[in-house]
Amino acid sequence: MKKVIVIGNGMVGYKFCEKLRAKADASQISLIVYGEEPLPAYDRVHLSEYFTNQSEEDLYMAPRSWYDEHQVTLKTSQLVTTINRDQKTIQTHTGDTESYDYLILATGSRPMVPPIQGVDKKGVFVYRTIEDLEQIIAYAKTVKRGAVLGGGLLGLEAAKALMDLSLDTQVIEFAPRLMPRQLDQAGSDMLKSKIESLGIQILLNKNTSQIRGNGKLDGLDFADGTTLETDMLVISCGIISRDELAEKTGLETGKRGGFKVNEQLQTNDPNIFAIGEAASYNDMVYGLVAPGYDMADTVVEQLIGTGNKTFTGADMSTKLKLIGVDVASFGDALGDTPGSTPIAFEDKNTGTYKRINLSSDRKKLLGGILVGDSEAYGMLLQITQNGMALPPNPEDLILGARGGDSGTEMQLPDTAQICSCENVTKGDIVCAIKDKELTDLNEVRSCTKAGTGCGACSPMVADIFTDTLKAMGQTVRKTICAHFDYTRQELYSLIKVKNIKSYAELLSAYGSGDGCETCKPAVASLLASIWNEPILKQDTIQDTNDRFLANIQKGGSYSVVPRVPGGEITPDKLIAIGAVAKKYDLYTKITGGQRIDLFGARLNDLPKIWRELIDAGFESGHAYGKALRTVKSCVGSTWCRYGLHDSVGFAIEIENRYKGIRSPHKLKGGVSGCRRECAEAQGKDFGLIATEVGYNLYVCGNGGANPQHAQLLAGDIDEKTAIKYLDRFLMFYIRTAEPLNRTSVWLNKLEGGIDYLRDVVVNDSLGLGEELEKDMQALIAAYHCEWKEAISNPTMQAKFKHFANTDDHDPTQHFVPMREMKKPAEWGLVANETK
Domains present along the chain, CATH in parentheses: 2-109+240-303 (3.50.50.60), 124-237 (3.50.50.60), 318-399 (3.30.390.30), 417-471 (1.10.10.1100), 627-784 (3.30.413.10)
Cα 534–chain centre separation: 26
How far does the chain reach from its first CA to its final CA, in angstroms? Answer: 67
Cα 413–chain centre separation: 28
CB hemisphere CA count around 710 (13 angstroms): 29
By the 8 A CB rule, do 282 and 313 touch? yes
pLDDT of residue 175: 93
pLDDT of residue 827: 55
Distance CA 206, CA 173 (A): 6
Q: What integer is the mean pLDDT of 162-166?
A: 88
Taking CA atoms, 570 is separated from 252, 564, 765, in Å, by 81, 10, 44
Distance CA 823, CA 817 (A): 6
pLDDT of residue 550: 84
By the 8 A CB rule, do 304 and 102 touch? no
Residue 406 has pLDDT above 50, yes or no: no
- Model confidence pLDDT, tens digit, residues 507-531: 999 988 878 778 888 898 899 899 9
| Higher per-residue confidence, 641 vs 696 | 696
- Model confidence pLDDT, tens digit, residues 678-732: 999 999 999 999 999 999 999 999 887 678 899 999 999 999 999 999 999 999 9
Binding-site residue ranges: 634, 640, 674, 678
Determine how β-strand 89-92 pairs with β-strand 80-84.
antiparallel
Q: What integer is the mean pLDDT of 377-392?
A: 86
pLDDT of residue 513: 80
pLDDT of residue 307: 61
- Model confidence pLDDT, tens digit, residues 577-606: 999 999 999 989 888 788 899 988 888 889
The set of residues, in sequence order, having a beta carbon less than 8 Å from that of 268 and lying 6+ positions away, is 250, 251, 252, 260
Neighbours of 771 (CB within 10 A): 13
Proportion of the chain above pLDDT 90, given as a percent: 57
pLDDT of residue 409: 42
Distance CA 241, CA 257 (A): 6
Residue 830 has pLDDT above 90, yes or no: no
Binding-site residue ranges for [4Fe-4S] cluster: 634, 640, 674, 678
By the 8 A CB rule, do 250 and 165 touch? no
Q: What integer is the mean pLDDT of 290-319?
A: 88
Provide the edge-to-edge strand list for the sheet that holds 325-331.
318-322, 325-331, 365-371, 352-358, 341-347
Distance CA 192, CA 184 (A): 12
pLDDT of residue 544: 66
**Nearest 10 degrees: Cα torsion 711, 717, 720, 724:** -40
3-state secondary structure 182-194: CCCHHHHHHHHHH
Distance CA 45, CA 43 (A): 5
pLDDT band at 804; cut points 50, 70, 90: low
CB hemisphere CA count around 19 (13 angstroms): 23
Residue 831 has pLDDT above 60, yes or no: no
Q: Taking the alpha carbons of 344, 347, 348, 353 in that order, is the dihedral positive or negative?
A: negative
- Model confidence pLDDT, tens digit, residues 609-633: 999 999 999 999 998 889 999 999 9
By the 8 A CB rule, do 822 and 600 touch? yes
Binding-site residue ranges for siroheme: 678
**3-class secondary-structure state, position 744:** helix
- pLDDT averaged over the chain? 88
Please spell the DSSP secondary structure of 402-450, one letter per residue: SSS--S------TT-EEETTTTEEHHHHHHHHHHTT--SHHHHHHHH-T
pLDDT of residue 404: 37
Range of 97-106, 289-298, 467-476 with top mean pLDDT: 97-106
